[in-house]
């Protein structure tokens, strides 16, 4: 969901799979593989305030990195190595709370 790629995408040949594709990008290169649709919004086109756009991008990154980590942890090949669902819920709640916290932008 984060990359916009299907596990059967043509780039996943020669031993590369979706799991490893995301894992290798974490955390510093994740924004390079994120589906551009997740990064664009109609508000950005109308907004000329650079700080506001930068703040939105930072917020998106702060949410996408833990979500990608959760996806990688939940898609481990061996079921015992996968993230516990209680921990998944907790981590997703942290992301939600981060998204919902009030913010101010200073010009």
**65 neighbors 30 (Cβ within 8 angstroms):** yes
How would you write the pLDDT of the chain (107 residues) with one tens digit per residue? Answer: 899 999 899 999 888 999 999 999 999 999 999 998 887 765 555 556 777 777 877 888 889 999 999 999 999 999 999 999 999 999 999 999 998 888 775 54
**What's the CA gap between 46 and 36, in Å, rounded?**
18
**What's the CA gap between 2 and 68, in Å, rounded?**
7
Token readout for 98 is: 């981060």
Measured CA to CA in angstroms, residue 25 lies from 10, 89, 92 at distances of 18, 23, 20
Domain ranges of the chain: 18-100
Q: Which are the contacts of 71, defined by CB distance < 8 A and separation ≥ 6?
A: 1, 2, 22
Provide the whole-model pTM. 0.79
**What's the CA gap between 72 and 22, in Å, rounded?**
7
Helix (H) or strand (E) holding 48: none
């Amino acid at each position: 969901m984060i990359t916009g790629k299907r596990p059967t995408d043509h780039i996943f040949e020669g031993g590369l799979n979706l799991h490893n594709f995301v894992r290798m990008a974490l955390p510093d290169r994740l924004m390079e593989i994120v589906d551009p649709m997740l990064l664009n919004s109609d508000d950005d086109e109308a907004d000329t305030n650079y700080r506001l756009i930068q703040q939105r991008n930072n917020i998106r990154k702060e949410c996408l990195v833990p979500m990608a980590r959760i996806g990688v942890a939940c898609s481990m090949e061996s079921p015992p190595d996968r993230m516990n669902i209680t921990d998944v819920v907790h981590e997703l709640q942290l992301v939600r709370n981060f998204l919902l916290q009030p913010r101010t932008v200073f010009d």
